[in-house]
Structure 1
Amino acid sequence: MQFKPSNRQPIVINRQPYFVNLRLDWRDFIVYLAFVTVFLFFAITIGDQGFLTISNISNIIRATTMITIMATAMTFVIASGEIDLSIGATVAFAALCTSLAMQAGLGLIGGIVSGLLAGVLIGSINGFLTTIVAIPSFLVTLGMMQLVRGVAMWMTDTSPVPVNNENFLKIFGTDSIGPIPTLVIWSVSVLFIGHILLKKTSFGRKILATGGNSISASYSGVNTKKVKFYALIISGIGAAIAGMLYSGAMQSARYTFGQADELTVIAAVILGGTNLYGGRGSVAGTIAGSLLIGTINNGLIIIGLSVSQQMVISGAIIILAVAFGKKRTSA
């Protein structure tokens, strides 16, 4: 008789049991504790300077919407054991494709479809080179980051592309539905869809199984290459949506969109509890990590720190996130 530890339960994938560790760990909740601690710190120290106002809290959520959407998509990539460094460049490329399509007379639907196809194209190329050609995703997406950013610059000769479609600006801009900002609705929608997809579907279980142990997952009937391929496509789609939101908020598309966002996105994912080497992921934790970084940035701005000082602190957060992710893996 096979002994099964009490803290492990089988997940059946293609009629084969794949055991995952369901033991609770206090580190699974540290991002939420950190968020509450940071929020209370700023509330006590600078609450009288406007930090606790409804408008400022709304600003934090809106300012982190694009990072939140990209980080949710990145959760699938990292949980599968891969990484996507091209996500920031894809944001700019998809935004420009959307804006140029609308300028060409394709309308709202044509613009949205063009942006999404741009994200799918880059995700598919990343996925093909990573899974079929077997080049490490770090190297593939590092090169793709440079290539796509260069293409984005070349497409418009570094000039911004105005967005004049009113319906597009209502859907992807800074408009509101009643008292709720559109960007907040986007954040909540992506959180819900991402959480359901990762935790409640067979695809999500295959993502975690692939990242946890790709060999065991393969023996259980999981096509691990296909899973990673789709994870990178999800990353491209998330970047495309973020690019359209950037365009809506700025009422233009620019090649600079998403610059250095990949670092913040990865930090949010790791802070949120996703294992840096795959096998563990939490969309809810990722959202908390994104809000944590957004709250810190907002508080530092209100305090009056210079851009250079903010960059120092942001860099320290990224280092701590990676270090914490590595410690979780070795524990």
Structure 2
Amino acid sequence: MSNDAKVLKAEPASHGAGRPWYGNWRDYVVYIGFVAIFIVFAVLLQDRGFLSANNLLNILRQTAIVAIMAMAMSFVLSAGEIDLSVGAIAGLTSVVAGMMLMQYGLFAGVVSGLALGLLVGAVNGGLTAYLNIPSFLVTLGMMGIARGVGMWVSGTSPVPIIDDTFIFAFGSGNVGPVPVLVIWVAALGTLAHLALRKTPFGRKVMSAGGNAVAARYSGVNVKKIKFQVLLLTGMAAAIAGMLYAGRLQSGRFQLGEGDELSVIAAVVLGGTSLFGGRGTVIGSIMGALLIGVINNGLILAGLEYSQQLIARGALIILAVAIGRGR
């Protein structure tokens, strides 16, 4: 029997198999919640422009960057790990890419941003997979390091970005009526969904997170899988950082601050288990969209930032509670 066949055999059975959809409602909670909350805000905030085309496009733009990081986090959580450094990596990348862009041009700026994500992801993955340090602790430490390096190299000052091509391609452009950020989400989301659902790599990720011992006996290199998924989040966070920089036309170490909480909440709300072995990219995108709608509605309703933080924290607790029931 081939290794891929063994992985398929070892993969945990799908939850809810053979049961009607209403028998496993938690699988659909993100869609139910999105529709319900959208309707509530549409009714309560119709006089404040919630349903206007500009506001709906703003929700998509605000959601897109978190959604990109959530796609990669789907792989990490499915493999039984976690990455708390994504927001800080995004901020550091925006600074480094902006500085390189200003000094050496577009190509150097983009390559340096991607290389930084690759490097930080490799450090996170290596320490977790090969030195057996819990990913929670590794990425918590990396969050502080990335934030501190970003402050240090930028002198806590914004790095201006004036390259029109970079600004268009990374966040501020539109192709017809469609924001470039939405195109990024659609392209990367399609690739991530196919990778998780239709490839041997995706099956190995699920197997490693569902039962690492069984996966090893089935021929899966669990350490390599855990290294690769953390490498993936490093790259996704770097792309997110450049999208932040292009959208805001500056690199700032503060960009992405707190995003790790929104990303994890989006992924768990979307149907990925916080404890490994189960994941969905489409659900994670929907979870990010749900959080974007909530944030936008709370702003239009006039809530202060502190109150928005309370709502976000409550949402994370709800996400974990639902995740335990899956």
| Shorter-chain TM-score above 0.5 | yes
Question: Shift of the alpha carbon at 1:203?
Answer: 0.5
Shift in CA distance, 153/44, structure 1 to aligned 2, threshold 3 Å? same
Alpha-carbon distance, 1:229 to partner: 0.4
Could you state the TM-score of these two structures normalised by the residue count of structure 1?
Answer: 0.93
Q: Is the 8 A contact 1:87 1:262 kept in 2?
A: yes
2:314 corresponds in structure 1 to: 316
Deviation of 1:319 (Å): 1.1
Determine the structure 2 residue equivalent to 1:231: 229
Q: Report the Cα distance in structure 2 between the residues aligned to 1:79 and 1:23, rounded to whole angstroms.
A: 14
Conserved in 1, the CA contact under 8 Å of 2:80 and 2:209? yes
Contact 2:11/2:203 (CA < 8 Å) preserved in 1?
A: no
Residue in 1 that maps onto 2:191: 193
Tell me by how many angstroms 1:327 deviates. Answer: 2.6
1:27-176 equivalent positions in 2, closer than 5 A: 27-105=26-104, 107-176=105-174
SS in 2 for 1:82: coil
Local SS of the residue matching 1:158: coil
d(CA) in 1 for partners of 2:40 and 2:182?
Answer: 24
Is the Cα–Cα contact under 8 Å of residues 92 and 152 in structure 1 kept in the other structure? yes
Question: How far 1:26 sits from its partner (Å)?
Answer: 2.3
SS of the residue aligned with 2:71?
helix
Q: Name the SS for the 1:281 alignment partner.
A: coil
What is the distance in 2 between the residues matched to 1:81 and 1:324? Answer: 17
In structure 2, C-alpha distance between the alignment counterparts of 1:307 and 1:100, rounded to whole Å: 30
Indicate the larger mover: 41-50 or 235-244.
Answer: 41-50
Which amino acid counterpart does residue 72 of structure 2 have in structure 1? A
What do the CA deviations read for 1:88-111 (whole angstroms, capped 9, x no partner)?
110011111211111221x22221
Q: Counterpart in 2 of 1:21?
A: 13
Partners of 1:13 and 1:206 within 8 A in 2: no
Deviations 1:25-47 (A, max 9, x none): 32111111110110111112212
Deviations 1:178-223 (A, max 9, x none): 1111111111112111111111111111111100001111111100
State how far apart, in whole Å, the 2-side matches of 1:227 and 1:244 are. Answer: 26
Tell me the equivalent position of 1:247.
245
Structure 1: 5+ residue stretches without partners: 1-10
Structure with a larger share of its residues in helix = 2
After superposition, where does 1:208-287 map in structure 2 within 5 Å?
A: 208-287=206-285
What displacement does 1:23 show?
A: 4.2
Any conservation in 2 of the 1:13–1:202 contact (CA below 8 Å)? no
Runs of 4+ residues deviating >4 angstroms = none
- State the AA in 2 paired with 1:20: P
Q: Secondary structure at the residue paired with 2:93? A: helix
Distance 1:289 1:138 in 2: 22
The one-letter code of the counterpart of 1:98 is A
1:3 alignment counterpart: none
TM-score between both structures, scaled by the size of structure 2:
0.94
Alignment check: 8 A CA contact 1:120 1:233 kept: yes
Q: Deviations over 1:132-177 (max 9, x none)?
A: 1110000111111111111111111111111111110110132101
SS in structure 1 at match of 2:10: strand
Question: Equivalent residue of 2:110, what SS?
Answer: helix
Q: CA RMSD in A?
A: 1.3
Over the matched positions of the two proteins, sequence identity in percent amounts to 51
- When residues 301 and 275 of structure 1 are mapped into structure 2, their CA distance, relative to the original with a 3 A threshold, is same
Could you tell me how far apart the structure 1 residues matched to 2:2 and 2:319 are? 32
Structure 1 residue identity aligned to 2:131: V
Report the residue type matching 1:14 in the other structure: D
Whether the 8 Å contact between 2:12 and 2:277 is mirrored in structure 1 is no
Q: Does the 8 Å contact 1:79/1:274 carry over to 2?
A: yes
Counterparts of 2:298 and 2:288, CA distance in 1: 16
Write the deviation string for residues 201-259 of structure 1: whole angstroms up to 9, x where unpaired: 11111111100001111111100000010000100011001000000011010010111
Structure 2 contact 117–237 (Cα < 8 Å) conserved = yes
Could you report, residue by residue, the CA deviation over 1:55-90 in whole angstroms, capped at 9, with x for unpaired residues? Answer: 111110101111101111111111100000111110
Task: Count residues in correspondence.
Answer: 317
Task: Give the match's secondary structure for 1:143.
Answer: helix
Matched AA of 1:22: S
Structure 2 residue aligned with 1:182: 180
